[in-house]
């Protein structure tokens, strides 16, 4: 299994954004007084770790380019409504490319959350 850890100024605050505003689920979070703040959020079974943006992980010179060149791809399982997830993200103002169906059938939209690019997709449901 591969897990990404995104460098965040405040991982617990960022986890709150994902959960309260965007409807993701909180898997776990370190206590607020921990030396190494870490949280894990989940959407449709895909987990994203949120870690501290200390200089060893995100140097000062790179902060303006956070997430450059990378996109986190999340494929939603059947039974999860991509329409509802898209609406929630659109209402929060983070959608950068609207929900559309690709030529091969996959439904997809893109969002920018805390400087990171996400592509959220779902295979079409067979009729």
Q: Is residue 63 part of a domain?
A: no
Note the pLDDT tens digit of each residue in 36-92: 899 999 999 999 999 998 888 778 888 888 888 889 999 999 999 999 999 999 999
Give residue 27's domain range: 5-54+70-122
Per 3-state DSSP, what percentage of the chain is helix, strand, and coil (rounded to 5)? 20, 40, 40
Q: Is residue 101 part of a domain?
A: yes
Q: Is residue 65 part of a domain?
A: no
Q: What is the CATH number of the domain that holds 93?
A: 3.10.180.10
Q: Is residue 23 part of a domain?
A: yes
pTM: predicted TM-score of the whole model, two decimal places: 0.89
- Count of the separate structural domains present in the chain: 1
Q: Is residue 95 part of a domain?
A: yes
Q: Is residue 36 part of a domain?
A: yes
* Cα distance between residue 47 and residue 24, in whole Å: 10
Note the pLDDT tens digit of each residue in 81-124: 999 999 999 999 999 999 999 999 999 999 999 999 999 999 98
Q: Is residue 103 part of a domain?
A: yes
- Among residues 99, 94, 69, the alpha carbon closest in space to that of 82 is found at 99
Q: Is residue 100 part of a domain?
A: yes
Distance in Å from the first CA to the final CA of the chain: 31
């Amino acid at each position: 299994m591969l897990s990404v850890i995104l460098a965040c100024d405040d991982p617990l605050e960022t986890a709150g954004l994902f959960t309260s505003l965007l409807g993701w689920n909180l898997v776990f979070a370190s206590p607020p007084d921990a030396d190494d703040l870490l949280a894990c959020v989940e959407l449709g079974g895909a987990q994203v770790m949120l870690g501290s943006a200390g200089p060893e992980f995100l140097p000062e010179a790179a902060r303006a380019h956070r997430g450059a060149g990378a996109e986190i791809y999340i494929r939603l399982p059947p039974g999860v409504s991509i329409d509802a997830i898209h609406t929630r993200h659109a209402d929060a103002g983070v959608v950068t490319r609207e929900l559309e169906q690709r030529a091969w059938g996959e439904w997809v939209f893109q969002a920018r959350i805390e400087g990171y690019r996400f592509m959220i997709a779902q295979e079409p449901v067979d009729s």
